[in-house]
A and B are shown apart, each in its own frame.
Chain A
Amino acid sequence: MSIWDNFFYTMLSTSTPIILAALGGIMTRQVGMFNLGLEGMMTVAAFVSVYLTSITGNLAAGLFGGIAATVLLGLFMAFISIRLKADIFVVGIAANALGTGLTTFLGLLLTGMQGTMVFKKTPVLPAVVIPYLKSIPVLGPFLSGHTVIDYLSIILPVVLSFVIFRTAFGYHARAAGLNARVAENCGISVVRHQYIAYVWCGIFCGLAGASMSMPIAMYAGGLIGMTNGRGWTAMAVVILSAGNPVVALLASWVLGAISALGNVLQTNGVFSSRLVMAFPFLAALIGTAVYSCLQKRKGSLNI
C-alpha cells in the first residue's frame, strides 16, 4: 500500500517540471518559434532561485528572482533570434550550453562549490497540507502534501488553454504563429507577440526550475545535472500535445507515472536505477510515435 501511495505522490511531483517547461514551450510554439532552450532556461532558474533563497533567506525572493533571471534569458534569446535573425534552433542550443556554463561558473564564483551544491541553512519550499483533501480516504495521501508549484502546475495548463483558445491575445498569438505575414497584414504585431511569448516561456521555465531545486535546497551542476534531461522530455511533450496545454498535462502525468513506476521497480530490485532513468525518454519517443501514427497525416509534425 505504502508503495502505491508513494507511486502517485512521485508521479505528481516528477511531472511538475515537465509540465511547466512544456507550457513554456507551447507558448513559444504558438507564435511560431520552436524553443530548444527549455533545458538551459530551467537550469538557470534552478540555480538562481535556490541561490537567492540561500542568501536572502526568503522563499519568495528566491522564487521571483529565479523567474526574473529566466525571463531575462528568454528576452535575450528572443532578441537574438528576432532582431538579430539568428537561427532559432541555434539560439536554443546556445541557451542550453549557456545554462550549464553560466551556472557552473556562477556556482563556483559565488558559493565556491562545484558539482552538487548543497545549500545549508536555507529554507525549503514547504509542502502544503490541504485539510479537506487530506481526509479523502484513498486519494488523500497523494493529493495533499505537495508544494505550491506542484499545485500551480495542475491549474496553469487549464488557465493557459483558456488564454490560448478563448482570448483575443491567444487568437492573435496563434495567428502570428500560423502565418506571420497574414497576421502582420491584419494589424497584429507579430514581433510583440513573440516577445510576450518568450516572457511567458521564461516565467514557466522559471517555475519549472524552482520546482526542482527549491524543495530540496540543492543544485546539481554538470552536464546531466539538475534537469536530468527533463527539458528535452518537455520538448517531446510540446510536440506531442500539438500546442494544447491540457493534453500536455495528461502526457506529463503519463511520463511522471512511468518515472514513478521505474522507482517502484528499482526499489524492488527488478531494474537497475540507470535503466530506469532511460524509461521516460523511451516512453516519450513511443508516445510521439503512437501519436503521429494516430494522426495519420505524414508531415504534419514537421517543426
Chain B
Amino acid sequence: MSRKKQAFLQLAVVLIGLLLACIVIMVCSKTPLEALRYFLTGPFSSVYNFGNLLSYSVPLIIEGLASALVFSASVWNLGIEGQMFFGMLCGTFTACQLSQAPAAVGIILSVAAAFAGGGAAAWVSAWIDRKFSVNIMLSTLLISNALSYIVMYFLEGPFNDPRSASGTCSPKLSTRFMLAKIMGNSDLHTGIFIALACVVLVWWFLHYHRKGFEIIMTGQNRRFAEYSGIKVDSIIALALFLSGGLAGLGGMVDILGVHGKMRCMMTGFGWDGVSIAMIARNDPLLVLPIAFIFAFLEKGVESAALFSDVSPAVAQMIQAVILFFATAQFLFRRKRAAGKKAAPEGRTS
C-alpha cells in the first residue's frame, strides 16, 4: 500500500472517530442539535476560540513528534509524560534563575534546559538497558512515574510559589520571557512556529539525515541493522534522548507561551502524544493534522460542555476509541492477512 493511501486511510479512521463523537454527544445531551452545533462550530466561532484551538495543538504536535521519533526506532518509550514533566521543571527552574538575563538568552537557555532535562531522563533508560539489561519500555515507564512524583515534590516544597492563588505551582516566570501572542487576545503564541519547525525538522531528520536513516533501519530490523554496521545501542540512546528532549521542549513551549508558570498537575499531553504518534503511524507529517484533530476534539467538547449539558470527558473517551480502531489493521490488510493464514505470532519472550 502506498504511503499516501495509508495516510489517507488513517485520517479517514480519525474522521469516523469524530463522527462517533458527534453521535455520543447527541445521545448524551438533552438538546442534541444545540450541543452538536457548539461542538462543531465552537472552536471556529471566533478569532479568540480559534487561536486557543491552535495554541492547544502546539504541545500536542511536539509530544506527538517526540513519540513518533522514538517509535520509528521500534523503541517503546512510554515515559513521555514524565520526561515532559521533568523537562518542564528544568526549564522553569532555569528561567527563574535567569530572571535578570536578556529575554533572548533566557528563552533559549530555558528551552535548552527543558530539552536537556527531558532528554537525560529518557537517555538514562538506554544506559540502564546497556548496563543492567532492563527492558527499555519498562524502565522508561517506571522512571517517568517516579520522576513525576519527584517533580511534584519540588513544586510543592522547595520550588513552590507560596503567593499563588490558583493551586500549587512554581514561581512565575519573568514576563519578558513570554512568547509573543500573535492572534488577537487568544492564547496563540509564536510557539506554533516552533512546533511547525519541529515537524519539518523531524521529518527531514528521519528521511534525509544519516542518523535518522539509521534510526529507521534499527526500527525495521534491529539485527540486520547491527550486521550492516550500525551501532544499534548508540542509535537507540540517540532516539531516546531526542524524544525525551522533544517532550521537554513541548511542555516548556506551552509554559512560555500560555501559562507563564509550571502547575503541579499532570497535563496528559505526553500520553496524548503517544496516541497521536500511533495513529499517525510514526509519520511526522501526519502528526500535524492528527494533533490538530485531537485539539479540536478537546476544544469542541469543551465548548459544548460550556454552553450545553455535555460532559467534558467525552473527548478523552473518543480519543481512546480512535486509537483502538486506527491501529487495528482490519480495514486495510484483509487481503494480505488472508494470504498467509499461519498461526498468530504474539510477542513472546
Query: A-side interface residues toward B, CB under 8 Å?
Result: 29, 31-34, 36, 80, 82-91, 93-94, 96-98, 100-102, 104-105, 107-109, 114, 177-181, 183-184, 190-191, 194, 222-224, 229, 232-233, 235-236, 239, 242, 272, 274-275, 277-278, 281-282, 284-285, 288-290, 292-293, 298-303
Q: Does B278 contact A (CB under 8 A)?
A: yes
| Contact of B328 with A86 in the complex, beta carbons under 8 Å | yes
Q: Does B275 contact A (CB under 8 A)?
A: yes
A178 proximity list for chain B (CB < 8 A): 348
| Contact of B138 with A100 in the complex, beta carbons under 8 Å | no
**Bound form: Cα–Cα A91–B320 in Å:** 10
Contact sample, A vs B, 6 pairs, CB 8 Å cutoff: A86-B328, A91-B324, A93-B271, A274-B152, A282-B142, A289-B134
**Bound form: Cα–Cα A275–B78 in Å:** 21
**Bound form: Cα–Cα A34–B141 in Å:** 15
Tell me whether A34 and B333 are in contact in the complex, defined as CB-CB below 8 angstroms, given that A105-B316, A229-B145, A292-B132 are known contacts: no
B266 proximity list for chain A (CB < 8 A): 222-224
B329 proximity list for chain A (CB < 8 A): 84-86
B33 proximity list for chain A (CB < 8 A): none
**Bound form: Cα–Cα A222–B323 in Å:** 19
| Contact of B132 with A102 in the complex, beta carbons under 8 Å | no
Q: Does B19 contact A (CB under 8 A)?
A: no
| Contact of B346 with A32 in the complex, beta carbons under 8 Å | yes
**Bound form: Cα–Cα A288–B139 in Å:** 9
Name the one of A84, A191, A303 contacting B330, with C-beta atoms under 8 angstroms: A84
Tell me whether A98 and B348 are in contact in the complex, defined as CB-CB below 8 angstroms, given that A85-B333, A105-B311, A232-B141 are known contacts: no
Q: Does B6 contact A (CB under 8 A)?
A: no
Q: Does B274 contact A (CB under 8 A)?
A: yes
Tell me whether A284 and B278 are in contact in the complex, defined as CB-CB below 8 angstroms, given that A101-B319, A105-B316 are known contacts: no
B128 proximity list for chain A (CB < 8 A): 285, 289
Q: Is the interface of A mostly helix, strand, loop or mixed?
A: helix
**Bound form: Cα–Cα A93–B272 in Å:** 11
- Give the residue name and chain of the B residue nearest to A39 (CB): B141
Other A-B contacts than A178-B348, A300-B349, 16 sampled, CB-CB below 8 A, are A32-B348, A84-B328, A90-B327, A94-B324, A101-B318, A102-B317, A102-B320, A105-B316, A242-B349, A272-B156, A275-B150, A285-B139, A292-B132, A299-B133, A301-B135, A303-B347
**Bound form: Cα–Cα A85–B340 in Å:** 13
B198 proximity list for chain A (CB < 8 A): none
Name the one of B147, B330, B344 contacting A180, with C-beta atoms under 8 angstroms: B344
Tell me whether A98 and B320 are in contact in the complex, defined as CB-CB below 8 angstroms, given that A181-B342, A181-B343, A183-B343 are known contacts: yes
A36 proximity list for chain B (CB < 8 A): 78
**Bound form: Cα–Cα A98–B314 in Å:** 11
B122-145 vs A, CB cutoff 8 Å, 1 = contact: the mask equals 000000100011110111011101
Select the residue from B128, B275, B320 with max chain A CB neighbours within 10 A: B320
B349 proximity list for chain A (CB < 8 A): 29, 242, 300-303
Smallest CB–CB gap between A23 and chain B, Å? Answer: 17
B159 proximity list for chain A (CB < 8 A): none
**Bound form: Cα–Cα A277–B142 in Å:** 12
| Contact of B346 with A101 in the complex, beta carbons under 8 Å | no
A105 proximity list for chain B (CB < 8 A): 311, 313-314, 316-317
Q: Does B76 contact A (CB under 8 A)?
A: yes
| Contact of B317 with A93 in the complex, beta carbons under 8 Å | no
